Amino acid sequence: LANDVDLSVVARGTIGFSGAQLQNLLNIAAIEATKQREKKVGNKHMDFAKDRIIMGSERKSAIISPENKLSTAYHEGGHTIAAMYTPGAMPLHKVTVMPRGHALGVTVQLPEIDQVSVSKSEYLAMIDVCMGGRAAEELVYGIDKVTSGCTSDLQRATKVATAMVSEYGMSDKVGMISYDNDDKDKMSASLRQTIDSEVQEINAESNKRVMNLLREHRKELDRLANALVEYETLDKNEIERAVKGLPIKRDVFSK
């Protein structure tokens, strides 16, 4: 391994990986290093392998119009700005507008340590980060131009909010109850309605918070979107430079 490989960072990004998946990660990284005619496996090769396993292969042949690329950059930028400035949000690792699988872009966050429990504020931060992409689209392009790319974000936000309300006792209106999936058929119609109402309120309040946050940091959002259009993938340090309007130091061949 090269000196720039930090195994603690690799471990944070591979939580839940099986032994076979870790072996596959090292094999993919070694093959990528060989393709680049390098003698040691470096951090960029480990990142390449991890991203390929988690997000799928890059779709470099995908034809994306400049308008759609900029829209994706704002969407992912919204997630990123929300993650940067929301207390309790998981630390950023990287953001990309390179298409992978069915996704046109991805914002990656990594925990600093293994999490054995999650607080209410941390769950709300998760929802805020989910809402960041849609909020950015609405802020920049208007409500009528919000895209279907927000679907998976809304699904995740709804899943988290539903668990908070129906399983974790984090709703004053629903109270200290916990229903798993097997118990939900036993709920009364009024209780299900109350849970749905609470979930909608949690998501709506999150959207308001994130819209206000993005308005406050609009210049940073614009800078980040423009940097994503130019460089396609930014790591944590590059994100921090981009939002400050500082030049990104990168070899011309690594764009």
User: What are the catalytic residues?
Assistant: 76
What is the helix, strand, coil percentage profile of the chain, to 5? 60, 5, 35
**Cβ atoms of residues 36 and 76 within 8 Å:** no
Q: Nearest-5° angle of CA 123, CA 124, CA 127? A: 90
Q: Which residues pair with 95 in a beta bridge?
A: 107, 234
Query: Where do we find the tokens 């940091």?
Result: 217
C-beta atoms surrounding 254 within 10 Å: 8
The 8-class DSSP code of residue 197 comes to H
Measured N-to-C along each axis, helices 120-141 and 151-166 cross at an angle, to the nearest 10 degrees, of: 150
Polymer length of the chain:
255
Residue 16 CA, distance from chain mean position: 17
Structure tokens at 113: 């340590």
40: helix, coil or strand?
Answer: coil
Least Cα distance to 55 among 162, 152, 160, 157 occurs for 152
Cβ-Cβ contacts under 8 Å for 244 (sequence gap 6 or more): 220, 223
